[in-house]
Amino acid sequence: MKDPNPTYISTTNACKLCKPLGACLAFRGVEGAVPFLHGSQGCATYMRRYIISHFREPMDIASSSLGEKQAVYGGGPNLKQGLSNVMKKYEPRFIGVATTCLTETIGDDVPGIIREFRQDARGEEPAPAEIVTVATPSYSGTHMEGFHAAVRALVEHLAESGEPTEAINLLPGLVSPADIRYLKEIVEDFGLPGIILPDFSETLDGPAQLDYEKIPAGGTPVAAIKTMGRSKATLEFGQTLFGQETAGTWLESRFGVPRRSLGMPIGLRETDRFFGVLKEISGRARPFRHAAERGRLLDAYVDGHKYLFGQRAVVYGEEDLVVGLAAFLSEIGVRPVLCASGGMSGRFQEAITEMTGGLLPEPPVVLAGADFYEIAAAAEGLVPDLVIGHSKGYKMARSLQVPLIRVGFPIHDRFGGQRVLHLGYRGAQSLLDRMVNAIIERKQETSKVGYGYI
């Protein structure tokens, strides 16, 4: 991928993370899984720290810990030893192996090494864990490409054909544990058996336990992934995935599972579209409690509209999250004046235009493949009232002296990042409340009067 208009050669304060991190997050959403990085020890440790700081949960990522010798002679023996040690210690049901820039560049044939490993382990008790590999060289694509590649690798390796089932596959992309729990609830309320992949709603937001769990409970069972080729339909979130080979397109082309491509259901319209598809597939009307939530959300749109109208927002983060947020903002009267991402799917601009068209007085400035140096420079001229995105934009928000509404990943400077709700009527309600309150708070705090009644 090439940045079509590289403004600068250097990158300052990136608005993206590396590809293997996305793969590790996706693998954490498989039941009984240990994510495994084939590379040097540092990658695993850095990503663990980064992920733990957001979720405040254990995040064990194993590593083949390559040293200089292995970098020269090949990392195969270390990979095998590492897998065998993980199996001994963690007794996982699943190991997701992602490569790194080191092992991609030295040219390790990871699928081949795994085949050998399986042959060596044949007949051993207990049976070795299921292993899925994905190539995630960090010099090609961001953490989101790594995330989607891992999800695709999971279904490619595991899904099987057979008798059709009544289930639907739901591929939500990178959303919060709270979002995933809510999605489960929605699908259940439509009476549909749903397979959400990945599902880290429990593994990355677990309860206090009696004991330290080697592998946290929860996650999409491997057995369920195996049946995904037989499901009734696949719902895949992410408008910038258009034209790419994804888990959804593979299930469609390989097993004929119809794929319904949807935007991230953020705000009223995209959530309505999501519910519309569920209604169509299940043949049921929108369940009452969701209809009630929708009604309350509309009511809040009205109650909050005067605080929000004309507010100018800078939005950044993963492309599909930003597209979803822009759709939402434009329907509540907030003007997303700048939409930016470190991603470079090539579909970002188009998706933003599509989602905000007809609702904005002028289209937002869209920056793809951007870092925070460029985002902050563009933001300054646009005089925003609000900044919406993850923690790494705090420096910019602070210098602009406007509130930062924290969404997405990572949230390293607030508590509860794993429980931020973005999706559906409920997520829109929560975002709306937070946004209106941020505006009120700012007005209150910058006022000389000190109103106690606003």
Hey, which residues between 55 and 94 contact other proteins (CB under 8 A)? 56-68, 70-71, 78-79, 81-86, 88-90
Return the closest-CA partner of residue 391 out of 380, 377, 405.
405
Question: To the nearest whole angstrom, how small is the minimum distance from the Cβ of residue 369 to other proteins?
Answer: 10
46 binds other proteins (CB under 8 A): yes
Let me know: does 402 contact 387? Beta carbons within 8 Å: yes
User: What does the DSSP 8-state code read for residue 401?
Assistant: T
Helices (H), 240-390: 247-255, 268-282, 288-308, 319-331, 348-356, 372-382
Return the closest-CA partner of residue 315 out of 390, 246, 259, 251.
390
Provide the 3-class DSSP secondary structure of residue 308. helix
Name the residue nearer to other proteins (CB basis): 36 or 328: 36
Q: State which of positions 1-30 bind other proteins (CB under 8 A).
A: 1-2, 8-14, 16-18, 20-21
Q: Which two tokens stand for residue 273?
A: 């579209």
Question: To the nearest whole angstrom, how small is the minimum distance from the Cβ of residue 250 to other proteins?
Answer: 23
Tell me the site size for other proteins, rule CB under 8 A. Answer: 77
227 binds other proteins (CB under 8 A): no
447 binds other proteins (CB under 8 A): no
Name the residue nearer to other proteins (CB basis): 180 or 355: 180
Question: To the nearest whole angstrom, how small is the minimum distance from the Cβ of residue 438 to other proteins?
Answer: 23
Cα–Cα distance for residue pair 43/65, rounded to 1 Å = 9
- Number of Cβ within a 10 Å radius of residue 15: 25
Q: State which of positions 164-223 bind other proteins (CB under 8 A).
A: 206-214, 217
Question: To the nearest whole angstrom, how small is the minimum distance from the Cβ of residue 109 to other proteins?
Answer: 16
Return the closest-CA partner of residue 7 out of 366, 346, 369.
369
Answer for which of 25, 26, 33, 47 binds other proteins (CB under 8 A) is 47
271 binds other proteins (CB under 8 A): no
Tell me, residue by residue from 362 to 401, as one string, x for binding to other proteins by CB under 8 A and - for no binding: ------------------------------x--x------
User: What does the DSSP 8-state code read for residue 273?
Assistant: H
Cα–Cα distance for residue pair 289/142, rounded to 1 Å = 38
Question: To the nearest whole angstrom, how small is the minimum distance from the Cβ of residue 388 to other proteins?
Answer: 20
Residue 74 has, within 13 A of its CA and on its CB side, a CA count of 9
